[in-house]
Amino acid sequence: MAIIEIRIELKKGVADPEGSNTKKTLESLGFEGVGAVKCVKVFEVELDMGVDEAVKAGEEMCRVLLANPVIQSYTVTAR
Amino acid sequence: MAIIEIRIELKKGVADPEGSNTKKTLESLGFEGVGAVKCVKVFEVELDMGVDEAVKAGEEMCRVLLANPVIQSYTVTAR
């Protein structure tokens, strides 16, 4: 049994409206010194296989379903 | 300048429909051995302050804005 973490983030240069709105709202609530805010989507997936095989399966999951390669990049790591 | 990672996940026992639908879809696409799939929301925030202060600010951001304490728990770590 392996648990993998699939981390999907927007590629550089792609607008992140959720991040920029979160930054604005934090500032309007009085938080100071807030720079860039970036939103990342994470899936934790349990897989009934070895770690190396699980990481490969996770990358295949990103290619097939979870990530949009036009605007998103992904990393898969074992936990 | 510190970069913190704010990780917001559903508390145990709270339904995760996005996770369970992702699991179903992965299975329908032919992925085998898929156990629980959990969705986690991550914010990466740059803060113009020291690391300890930044982590404290991140926890305050969760209390004030980012997390719903009824169904979500959060962890804040420095990157």
Q: Does A48 reach chain B within 8 Å, measured CB to CB?
A: yes
* Alpha-carbon gap, residue B36 to A47, rounded angstroms: 8
Give the ipTM of the model, two decimals please.
Answer: 0.93
The answer to whether residues B37 and B25 touch, using CB atoms and an 8 Å cutoff, is no
- CATH number of the structural domain spanning residue B56: 3.30.1280.10
Nearest to A39 among B32, B43, B48 (CB): B43
Q: What is the pLDDT of residue A79?
A: 86
Name every chain A residue with its beta carbon within 8 A of the beta carbon of B19: 43
**Which band of pLDDT confidence, cut at 50, 70 and 90, is reported for residue B15?**
very high
* Alpha-carbon gap, residue B7 to A35, rounded angstroms: 18
- The verdict on residue B49 lying in a domain is yes
Record the pTM.
0.94
* Residues of the domain holding A58: 2-27+36-78
> Mean pLDDT across chain A, nearest whole number?
98
Number of domains present in the structure of chain A? 1
Q: What is the pLDDT of residue A69?
A: 97
State the smallest CA–CA distance between residue A11 and chain B in angstroms: 14
At A54-68, the pLDDT tens digits run 999 999 999 999 999
* Alpha-carbon gap, residue B57 to B12, rounded angstroms: 25
Q: What is the pLDDT of residue A44?
A: 98
Residue B15's SS3 state is coil
Q: What is the pLDDT of residue B76?
A: 98
Alpha carbons within 13 A on the beta-carbon side of B35: 11
Nearest to B46 among A35, A42, A47 (CB): A35
Q: What is the pLDDT of residue A37?
A: 98
At A16-48, the pLDDT tens digits run 999 999 999 999 999 999 999 999 999 999 999
At B33-53, the pLDDT tens digits run 999 999 999 999 999 999 999
Share of chain A above pLDDT 90, in %: 99
- The verdict on residue B29 lying in a domain is no
DSSP secondary structure code for residue B1 in this structure: -
**Which band of pLDDT confidence, cut at 50, 70 and 90, is reported for residue B79?**
confident
